[in-house]
Homo-oligomer: A and B are copies of this chain.
Amino acid sequence: RINGCTEYDAAYFQSYSHVGIHEEMIKDRVRTETYRSAIFQYQSAIEGKVVVDVGCGTGILSIFCALAGAKRVYAVDASEIAIQANEVVKANNLSDKIIVLLGRVEDVDIDEEVDVIISEWMGYMLLYESMLSSVITARDRWLKPGGLILPSHATLYMAPITHSDRYNESIEFWRNVYGIDMSAMVPLAKQCAFEEPSVETIIGENVLTWPFVVKHVDCYTVTIVELETITAKYKFVSMMQAPLHGFAFWFDVEFAGPANMPNDNHSPSSLGEGSTSLLGDSTTVSSDACANGSNQRRKRAKSMETLVLSTAPEDEPTHWQQTLLYFYEPVDVKQDQVIEGSLTLSQSKENPRFLNIHLEYTSGGRSFVKESVMR
């Protein structure tokens, strides 16, 4: 039914046909309420306009857009969940406004230009799943010049972390198992626990210093080629003495208009109780990496009204949690010790939805390389 689709794509789309994954995403109130707030914040840009929802799932964002007054919403999803979205749309008497299309944005036809693209495309570690390329495709195929993309910007962060509890629970545990020394399990335990990135929730106390911006994406201008390989050189100065267990990755996305588009500046109280974070909250002030990969960071000025959906350890947890890349051996770092190196994220050649992670790090005169794949 879906053309031009690899077997990996098919498996990926199939995975979204299970209801549980949509239940989890919808029940993530930070996620869903921030999107709803953003849609109503931009109500004047949506009213009477044409919207495309890239990867609509059960269709809830499309319905929010229809309720915000959109003239027409194209709700596109390549998973069979689109059939359910269509049922929900019919049951809500919105079939005249919301057109559900089962297929990839690369393949479906929309015979008009659109004013707004909305999409919840973010994967673990921001780029896992590579769904941003579908948003870019939709933008390049259908978005009017000056049109709105929600979210508009995304930023991937990394920071060194300490997490002895986690390390002890999976590794040190084997050294005394009901009185038996099972240390012989440790090498395999390290491989099983830490070879691949691990999605889990950490807290601010696990983070050794301020995060570094791995990649900042402007959805209005980003290209698919730009996302194929992302390289960054980083440098941290540890704020404390602790065993360094690895790095954490998280992201935030902002809902800003294209240059010079005013938003409606609704007060959040008009949108129901929100766990949305308005900028001004210092925890969500993001910074921008220089394109040349240097570790300089500069604050970007964001308007006070820009909604930010943050998945940082110090913010309210979301279903994305954080993504952790653990070392096999902790590295003891002192206060003010430098941790530096480089990171390359690239699409797997085996399956473009997988993410290859090449990490180099040096601290206290010792250098390491860690290669892993997020599958």
A301 within 8 A of B: no
Interface centre among A27, A91, A185, A272 (most CB of B within 10 A): A185
Residues in B with CB closer than 8 Å to A19 are 185, 188-189, 191-193
Bound Cα distance from A189 to B181, whole angstroms: 47
Residues in B with CB closer than 8 Å to A92 are 180-181
A270 to chain B, nearest CB (A): 14
A9 within 8 A of B: no
Residues in B with CB closer than 8 Å to A188 are 19, 84
| 10 pairs, A vs B, C-beta closer than 8 Å | A19-B189, A20-B170, A23-B189, A26-B177, A32-B178, A58-B185, A87-B185, A88-B185, A90-B184, A178-B272
What residues of chain A have their CB less than 8 Å away from a CB belonging to chain B? Answer: 18-20, 22-23, 26-27, 32-33, 36, 58, 60, 63, 84, 87-88, 90-92, 170, 173, 177-178, 180-185, 188-189, 191-193, 272
A365 to chain B, nearest CB (A): 32
Bound Cα distance from A189 to B92, whole angstroms: 18
A307 to chain B, nearest CB (A): 16
Residues in B with CB closer than 8 Å to A23 are 170, 173, 189
Interface centre among A19, A92, A192 (most CB of B within 10 A): A19
Asked if A192 contacts B84 (CB within 8 A), the reply is no
Bound Cα distance from A349 to B36, whole angstroms: 49
A180's contact among B63, B180, B181, B183, by CB below 8 Å, is which? Answer: B63
Q: Known pairs A19-B192, A22-B185; list 5 more (Cβ under 8 Å).
A: A19-B188, A19-B189, A19-B191, A26-B178, A88-B180
Bound Cα distance from A240 to B39, whole angstroms: 48
A178's contact among B60, B87, B173, by CB below 8 Å, is which? Answer: B60
A83 to chain B, nearest CB (A): 9
Query: A182 — nearest CB in chain B belongs to which residue?
Result: B88
Closest 6 CB pairs of A and B: A87-B184, A19-B192, A91-B184, A88-B184, A19-B189, A88-B182
Residues in B with CB closer than 8 Å to A189 are 19, 23
Bound Cα distance from A33 to B177, whole angstroms: 11
Residues in B with CB closer than 8 Å to A178 are 26, 32-33, 36, 60, 272
Bound Cα distance from A184 to B92, whole angstroms: 9
A60's contact among B60, B84, B177, by CB below 8 Å, is which? Answer: B177
Residues in B with CB closer than 8 Å to A90 are 184
Bound Cα distance from A23 to B19, whole angstroms: 30
A192's contact among B20, B58, B185, by CB below 8 Å, is which? Answer: B20
Bound Cα distance from A237 to B314, whole angstroms: 52
Residues in B with CB closer than 8 Å to A181 are 91-92
A167 to chain B, nearest CB (A): 13
A360 to chain B, nearest CB (A): 27
Bound Cα distance from A107 to B203, whole angstroms: 50
A175 to chain B, nearest CB (A): 11
Bound Cα distance from A192 to B84, whole angstroms: 13
Asked if A193 contacts B32 (CB within 8 A), the reply is no
Asked if A60 contacts B182 (CB within 8 A), the reply is yes
A158 to chain B, nearest CB (A): 25
